[in-house]
Amino acid sequence: MQKKLTILFIVIILLSLGAILWAYLQAPAEQTDPGLTVVPAPEQAKAQRPPCFPDQEDNYIPLPETENLALNKPIQSGEHTDVYVAANVNDGKTDTYWESKGFPAQMTIELGAAKKISTVAVRLNPSAIWEPRKQEIAVLVSQDGQAYTEAAPAAVYDFDPATGNRIRIDFDAVEAAYVQVVFTMNSSSRTGGAQAAEIEVFE
Amino acid sequence: MRTESKAAPRLILLGAAALLLLALAIFMILSPKAPRKGQANRAPEGQATLLTLYEGPKTMTSSPNARITANGHELFVYDVMVNHEHIWNANTQPSDTPMTYFDFSGKVEIDIQMPGLPTPVESAQVLPSAWGIEPEVADGHVRFAITEPGQYTVIYNGSVNKATHIFANPPETEVPDADDPNVFFIGPGEWTMDAIALGDDQTLYLSGGAVLHSIVSVSGAKNVRILGRGMIDGSDYPAWNQAGSYARVPIDLNHAKDVTVEGIILANSNCWNFNSYSCSHVRVDNVKIISGRQNGDGFTFQSCTDHVVTDSFARTWDDSLVIKNYSGSTKGITFRNMQVWTDLAQSMEIGYETDKGLTLDPEIQDVLFENITVLYNFHKPVISIHNSDDAFVHHIEYRNILVENAFMEGDNGRNNELIEMNLNKSGWSTVKDEFGSVDDVLIDGLTVLHTKDGRVPASRISGQSEDNRITNVTFRNVSILGQKVQDLKGLNASVNEFCENITVE
């Protein structure tokens, strides 16, 4: 009996020593530090818009889907501020803009031929950093670039990134070869002139 | 009987030993607290170490240039833009360097391997040297322990190439409620949107592990907070002066009031980094800036009042800490406990524009730079007041400034001073026909450890005329290359005739 117990104890001792050695050689378990926190990253295939800032494009003021008759057409205006030249106003990009030096500020667009028009849109960069502002705008039209008539009287329009930082001026359809957009006020504290990233003209 | 009586105690002892070893084996197998081979790098027993790690976005990969662990846990390493070109170049091409971050309290063992270096790591240095950390370098590993939250920079083989920035934040104490309607909560991951505009009483929280490609604007708003541990990244925009691009300032405060910015990282901006214009009561803490592109100024405040920046970091390719007047005067600006690395331009600049807005009686006053460590300055003066318009600049204090490496290369032999104060016109002047003055400047505690050529760099103080002078400038406790400066000659300073009461104590 004693011999059997002795053998049993020796076997237990040897197995235990083996188990202790085996356990010691194992790699440390991950996150065994009680003070460790690993903040996981979500599964993503590409950079996304943060969910806390839902896209507001559904709230943008709709513009006509017809051809923009002003795009890349010849233009004329007065002095501009800094590098914000007139050419930016119909280059098809809202991340470039024209800024006048003072008021009133006129931007004349030569359509190339008499066209029937009924909408002028004025757009700013829709980025949220272009904070809401008001601008007073009138639309004049001409057949010859000399004599202009009023298509839409001066009115104050609200530009707001929540609605795309764009406004549309609708008026009774009129034939025009020249469109003159006249700015007389801008409420932005950042400038003393008119601002427009794009001026668009639609049938 | 005698044999049995002797054998019984031995058997009992053997049985006891077997049970003890069996218990030990069970403990070793089952307990996470059991010792394991190769766990010397883990948190020491008895230390209440808290360590928070942030996985990088799944859309990005950790830098191949550096492998870094904290207490044995691998960190996500970002390659961020820096610039080793120490002269202005409008079309400069930045390089990159590794950066990582985590939060902790207690003690953390850092282990760095640098496969991105062209040669094996044979030596390393942990900056600021005031930490007193002597890293162990062996078998391609750089190892050291930290016990204090802060910003750590590791350089290898005596070179700044791939200098590694480790931002060891304190644990977050205030994570806003994501369900609060005034809180915009951005979690870990890679995010993009054109711009974020914050209004009154709103908070933007950018979690650790978040990389946000956007800019944040606070215009005309009050009581606004920007918090977190995440990063605002401008890398997907060309430099602002390149064709078709424009300036996208990651933190842009404009006529705002009561603004707090804490904990975030600004990297890869395509222009300035942290801009405050005509704002009041702004508090900035633990904000880290790394910038390598054109006009990448760090913290730049124009015509501001009551700003305090603490425990923050700026490695920049233009002025690191800069105060100007753009529209009105400046009063009450404090930078405290800062680390600065200036690859281009000045480290602590007042000017050049001191009256860009052409205001009546412009002033810059009550400015304090305190406990500032300049890790490197490679270009222009470390301390500079360039009153280039007509402002009255006064009560400016620099206290406890440590310049580890004053390597000012200047511009073709010019602008390489350690300290420069002048009233000269410049390309940034708006007021062309009038000058201002500088009065009451104290530099108390300025230590320079290393210079480019082992000699005391020049300093220059020059007024403009009898009516436009620099007066009452005191240098106290100045030490350069281990020598206490006793007089203006020891400072290697030139002072022109339109200065008065320029003293060394």
The model's pLDDT over A148-196, given as tens digits with 9 standing for 90+, comes to: 999 999 999 999 999 999 999 999 999 999 999 999 999 987 789 999 9
Q: Could you tell me the pLDDT band of residue A27, with boundaries at 50, 70 and 90? A: low
All CATH 2.60.350.10 domain ranges in chain B, comma separated = 53-169
All CATH 2.160.20.10 domain ranges in chain B, comma separated = 183-504
Does residue B40 belong to the interface with chain A, where contact is any CB pair within 8 Å?
Answer: no
Q: Could you tell me the pLDDT band of residue A5, with boundaries at 50, 70 and 90? A: confident
Q: How far apart are CA A4 and CA B297, in angstroms?
A: 83
Q: How far apart are CA B394 and CA B439, in angstroms?
A: 5
Mean pLDDT on A39-43: 98
Position B100 scores a pLDDT of 98
Position B1 scores a pLDDT of 42
The CATH superfamily holding the domain A64-202 is Galactose-binding domain-like (2.60.120.260)
From B58, B178, B220, residue closest to A44, measured CB to CB: B58
Chain A residues 53-72 with a CB less than 8 Å from chain B = 53
Q: How far apart are CA B369 and CA B383, in angstroms?
A: 10
Position A196 scores a pLDDT of 98
Distant-in-sequence, close-in-space partners of B1: CB < 8 Å, separation ≥ 6: none
Largest alpha-carbon pair distance within chain A?
126
Rounded to the nearest angstrom, the minimum Cα separation between B136 and chain A is 23
Q: Is the pLDDT of residue A102 over 80?
A: yes
Q: Which residues of chain B have pLDDT under 50?
A: 1-3, 40-44
DSSP result, chain A = -HHHHHHHHHHHHHHHHHHHHHHHHSPPPTT--TTEEEEPPPP-SS-B--TTS---GGGSPP---S--TTTT--EEES-B-TT--GGGGGSS-TTS-EEBSSSSEEEEEEEEEEEEEEEEEEE---STTS--EEEEEEEEEESSSSSEEEEEEEEEEEE-GGGTSEEEEEEEEEEEEEEEEEEEEE--TT-SS-EESEEEEE-
Q: Label residues B257-291 b or e (16+ Cβ within 10 Å = b).
A: bbbebbbbbbbbbbbbbbbbbbbbbbebbbbbbbb
Does residue A1 belong to the interface with chain B, where contact is any CB pair within 8 Å?
Answer: no
**Residues on chain A touching B35 (C-beta within 8 angstroms):** 24
**Residues on chain B touching A33 (C-beta within 8 angstroms):** 42-43, 49, 51, 71
Domain positions in chain A: 64-202
Q: How far apart are CA B194 and CA B199, in angstroms?
A: 17
What percent of chain A has pLDDT above 90?
A: 75
The CATH superfamily holding the domain B53-169 is Dextranase, N-terminal (2.60.350.10)
Q: How far apart are CA B317 and CA B88, in angstroms?
A: 9
Position B33 scores a pLDDT of 60
Does residue A83 belong to the interface with chain B, where contact is any CB pair within 8 Å?
Answer: no
Q: Could you tell me the pLDDT band of residue A32, with boundaries at 50, 70 and 90? A: low
Does residue A19 belong to the interface with chain B, where contact is any CB pair within 8 Å?
Answer: yes
**Residues on chain B touching A164 (C-beta within 8 angstroms):** none
From B7, B18, B190, residue closest to A12, measured CB to CB: B18
Does residue B249 belong to the interface with chain A, where contact is any CB pair within 8 Å?
Answer: no
**Residues on chain A touching B106 (C-beta within 8 angstroms):** 35
Mutate: best of B61, B62, B190, B356, partner A, most A CBs <10 A: B190
| Angle, helix B2-30 to helix A2-25, in steps of 10 degrees | 20
Report how many Cβ contacts below 8 Å link chain A to chain B.
174
Decide if A131 and B219 are in contact by the 8 Å CB cutoff. Answer: yes
Chain B residues 100-159 with a CB less than 8 Å from chain A = 106
Burial class (CB in 10 A: 0-12, 13-18, 19+), B207: buried
Rounded to the nearest angstrom, the minimum Cα separation between B50 and chain A is 4
Mean pLDDT on A70-80: 97
- In this prediction the pTM is 0.83
Q: Label residues A157-182 b or e (16+ Cβ within 10 Å = b).
A: eebbbeebbbbbbeeeebebbbbbbb
Decide if A33 and B42 are in contact by the 8 Å CB cutoff. Answer: yes
Task: Tell me which architecture the domain covering B183-504 has in CATH.
Answer: 3 Solenoid (2.160)
Decide if B11 and A2 are in contact by the 8 Å CB cutoff. Answer: yes
Position B489 scores a pLDDT of 97
Position B11 scores a pLDDT of 76
Q: How far apart are CA A182 and CA A101, in angstroms?
A: 13
